[in-house]
Amino acid sequence: MRFNAKDLALLAKRPSCCFDKEGKLKICRVVGDEKLIEPRERWCRLKGNLLFLMKNKSSEASEVVILERCWVVEFKSKTDVSIILKFQSGEPDLYIEAASKPDCEAWAVALGEANSEGLRNKIQQLRRLIMEIKEERASEEAHQFLPSSQVDSLGEPQFTSIQRIANEPKLEFSLACKGLVAATRDRKLNTFIQVSVVHPAEHILTRYSSTEIVEGTRDPLFLTGVTFPPEYPIYEETKIKLTVYDVKDKSQDTVRTSVLPDHKEPRADVGRSFLGCATFRVGDLVKSKEQQLTLTLRTSDGGKTVGTIEVNLVKMGEFEDGEMDHITTDAQDQKFLCFLPLKSCSCGFLSATCAHNTENLERMTDRRAKEECALVRECTAPEGLSGKDNLPSLNAVLKNPICKLYRFPTSDNKWMRIREQMAETTLSFHVPKELINLHIKEDMRRNQELKDLGELAPHWDNMRKSVIAHCDQMLSMYQDTLAELGKHTGSSFKSSCSKGEKTLEFIPINLHLQRMHVHSPRLKDALYDVITVGAPAAHFQGFKNGGLRKLLSKFEAERRNTGYQCIYYSPENTAKAKEVLSNINHLQPLISSHADLLLNSASQHSPDSLKNSLKMLSEKTELFVHAFKDQLVRSALLALYTARPGCVLKKPAVPRSSAEESDDLKHQDHSSQIKRQDSIPHHSEYDEEEWDRVWANVGKSLNCVIAMVDRLLEKDNSSKTKEGESDPSAADCKVLHAGGDWYEQLYPLVITLKDCMGEVVTRAKQSMAFVLLQELACGLPQCLMLTLRRDIVFSQALAGLVCGFIIKLHTSLHDQGFLQQLHTVGLLVQYEGLLSTYSEEAGMLEDMAVGISDLQKVMFKVIEAKSEDFLPIITGRREHYVIEVQLPAKMFELLPQEIKEGKLLRMYPVLFNVGINEQQTLAERFGDTTLQENINQENLELLKEYYNLFTEKMPPDCLPHFQEQNDLKGLLENLHQNIQAKRRKNVEIMWLAATICRKLNGVRFTCCKSAKDRTSMSVTLEQCSILRDEHQLHKDFFIRALDCMRREGCRIENVLKNVKCRKYAFNMIQLMAFPKYYRPPEGTYGKADT
């Protein structure tokens, strides 16, 4: 290459504004993996395809690098700030090191776009955009040149909105091509269509979606349609560009599976070639009489015709009168279906699919055909409830929907339509923040209770100080985490790349709702929901020592051996202590308020009000007394006394029986019998019967109040009968005087009740706080770290559960059988795990198992929303939480009376795990799978327990009409046999568990490490299995439908959201270990080129 050295020197000294990019870099030449010299700092200036290297900003250029026939290799490490510039000529590579990661990425982009090939791509893109603009009609051009007065009045361009039903996608259409022309006569085309959008105001081309690849035909009919969600800004003036490509090699078709800027066109030599393109206005399609457009495909210069594209408007819903056209399965003779207009159905919000599979699908087909269990949720709205009524409450929890549209042939050569939708949820952050806030309040109360223990012996006092210091540190950590989450803005989901971030460790990984909405020609519309989420686990803390299942067992064993330092209490006793403290904090203010209401009723001389107030006071006081009827409180009081300075023990007395205690409560009702006790003595003999007397005094004082109210009401009734014929004015005076007497006679008794209750509360709080002190002291700091880890895992699991419950409730409001089951039995929640039992994933599985088991502590309550804020409210403490789900008034009225009255709804979570990746192969051959086997066996027993409860409490007719109890028994027995068989990668366990869950109206979850790759394979496989088994998907199209969903469906979009690349994170060697139907189509996996 010839060049003028003087001109280059002058160009290098031009002002900074003349250069595309400049800055300091460390540079050296590299041969192979070895640097010829150490990198030296240079001032680098980039202009076009010339890179000038200078010693400093003011010196002359010492070297010029011409950026042609070269490419950039960028390292993927988060900490690496270097790139390599490789040359096709064979000259040594150029090593470039930046000061920071962002600077390195910026240089990589600038150098990659600097060559003439990038310029040619930009020119080609501009030419195509100019061609599209020239196609605008003269009327449209005239409309742009309005008088200035009209322009000022308009402000912004006004576009015509597309009329649609609320909550339905704005636009959906299907595509097919005819008469495509190949470059060579004998070439069999493998084509797909790329869909791009040109917004009428910006005239910028935005890549939107693609169809699947149809092989071996010049008349391809594409099963993947195009759908625009309700929030998408599309108008009648919007233009849609359809570009047809011929794929030469699917494994090299990386452009469709990697991220490119919208303004860049792909190179033609990366596995595909351009055939032709066509553009249409959305308004032309919507207003067309037949709701169909036939467009001519032309080459990039607009001259040569290479075929036609047929675009058909699609509306999900019921078919109009008339049969659908029959189809053939021959790829060469595919017949394009003209979709008829459909009535839309208002059945709910988004869509998500199921998550399941089976390694032996072919072998299981005949058996499942015999069982014929239609897992269908009918898509009809209850009378009086429209789709709009669902919107406010669902929009509060679901965000950023992604929609996909398919059409698949049935076994009788008809068409069915499938809408696949996916959405993230605001609950990913809302639930953890609410939960952390509860943890902070609970821990602050505990710390204060420890401080209120009073004076302790030096050993115990030092122990208390150490515990409080550690607890304060943990409390500070929770507060910092909550503050960081409060600063979070942007998307409402945590990507898989962020699973190791400390500030986000309470947030579930990649939590999404996915729904498959199926519309068949002969069956009712059906919805299939599943929640996909990364396995709840403490990724930031790591798994070097295993997960919660192992750590908790080890910790409990170590605690038993620390008795010389502190008093050992079993986990059951510490849980009981927390429950007693919770009951105290809940019941004491209620009793005080009811006692005040009783006095208020007495002052007003209202007999009816007095009776009601007394009834409420009696109920709450009985609950209060019952809460302390436990040996733990008595033994803890004694232990606390021994921890006081200078304690002396008296000979223990024989404790009275519970019958004697209850007899005292029933028959002793006079205030003079109550003897007030001093606080726990420090330096005197301890009487073990003292607690019994203090505790019994509450019941005795309540009996005194009841007896006094009875006497007052009796006197009132007798006086009314005697004074019935007396002077009315005199009677009124006596009533006023009696009102004062009532208050004066009840006041001292109520005060005595409050005093006795306060004394019990003080002693009980101190004794239970002492039990918690032992629990914490025996395992510092491991105890607090395990509590933190458990809180993290539980937070992730709870966010998913709340999302699943809310979606299930919304979609089943019309199902009275389900609602009866919900408040009578409870809700089954089935988790499918795909984790291996090898290395770190074994620790994740241990965390996940404990987190899901802890969900048994959660109860739900449905309440009527009093405002426009429909987000759920969380109350309670560790070991017991109540989730209050808010519904709008119209939806709340549809619930059974039991639920409307606030009945708590139980959850029954079960987990079944089968590892499917290459690490599971290592575990099965060289490691240990006992963890997986134990988890599956334990949860099978829980599932059987729920089934038995279901059959006992629910009438047989509450099962869907096409199901029988014998089917469930058979499925449970089959599941039991498969778990006992201990076959390698027996994914049939997953299918059976999922089937049982759907038959029992349960909520489905699918989890792997990040809910991105293995979860996607499982979800799409179950979708296609359901379509085949329940909706008669043509057997010849099963694999093609599976590839469609994996290549162009919601799950590949989920991968893009997480890693900014449309590629599943598998390689060929890994996939060899996967079950056959869990392998993605060629070209959709490999190393991610972000």
Residue 23: strand pairing partners: 44
CB atoms within 10 A of CB 323: 9
Alpha-carbon gap, residue 716 to 659, rounded angstroms: 35
What is the full DSSP assignment across 663-708? HHHHH---GGG----PSPPSSSEE-TTHHHHHHHHHHHHHHHHHHH
Q: Which residue has the tokens 């890179």?
A: 51
Q: Are 234 and 196 in contact (CB under 8 A)?
A: no
Q: Distance between alpha carbon 963 and the CA centroid of its chain, in Å?
A: 30
Among 419, 387, 379, residue whose Cα is nearest residue 229? 419
Tokens of 690: 């003292």
Answer positive or negative: Cα dihedral of 820, 824, 825, 828: positive
Using the 8-state DSSP alphabet, how is residue 1064 labeled?
B
Return the SS3 of 193.
Answer: strand
**How would you classify residue 320: left for phi > 0, otherwise alpha for psi between -120 and 50, otherwise beta?**
beta
In order, the DSSP letters of 843-884 are: HHHHHHHHHHHHGGGEEEEEEE-SSS----EEEEETTEEEEE
* 525-534 per-residue burial string, b: 16 or more CB within 10 A, e: under 16: bbbbbbbbbb
Please choose, from the candidates 1030, 1017, 1015, the residue with its C-alpha nearest in 3D space to the C-alpha of residue 1076: 1017
How many whole angstroms separate alpha carbon 297 and alpha carbon 178?
Answer: 10
Q: What angle do CA 543, 545, 549 make, to 5 degrees?
A: 85
Please, what is the Cα angle at 897 between 957 and 617, to 5 degrees? Answer: 135
The C-alpha atoms of residue 443 and residue 476 are separated, in whole angstroms, by 10
* Amino acid in the structure at residue 364: M
Q: What's the CA gap between 196 and 193, in Å, rounded?
A: 10
How far is residue 827's CA from residue 905's CA, in Å, rounded to a whole number?
A: 8
Contact 192, 212 (CB under 8 A): yes
Positions marked active-site = 1008
Residue 856 CB partners (closer than 8 Å, separation 6+): 907, 908, 909
Torsion of CA 10, 15, 18, 22, to 10 degrees: 100
Q: What does the radius of gyration of the chain's CA atoms come to, in whole angstroms?
A: 36
Query: Which of helix, strand or coil describes residue 416?
Result: strand
Q: How far apart are the first and last CA of the chain?
A: 34
Containing 280, the helix (H) or strand (E) segment is strand 272-281
Strand ranges inside 593-669, DSSP E: 648-649
Helices (H) and strands (E) in the chain, counts: 30, 31
Q: How far is CA 757 from CA 240, 591, 656, 701, in A?
A: 75, 9, 21, 9
Q: How far is CA 672 from CA 312, 760, 903, in A?
A: 91, 19, 41
Work out the angle at residue 779's Cα, subtended by the Cα atoms of residues 774 and 780, and round it to the nearest 5 degrees.
100
Strands (E), 426-574: 512-519, 526-532
Paired tokens of 474: 């943990």
Q: In this structure, are residues 227 and 404 in contact, taking their beta carbons and an 8 Å threshold?
A: yes
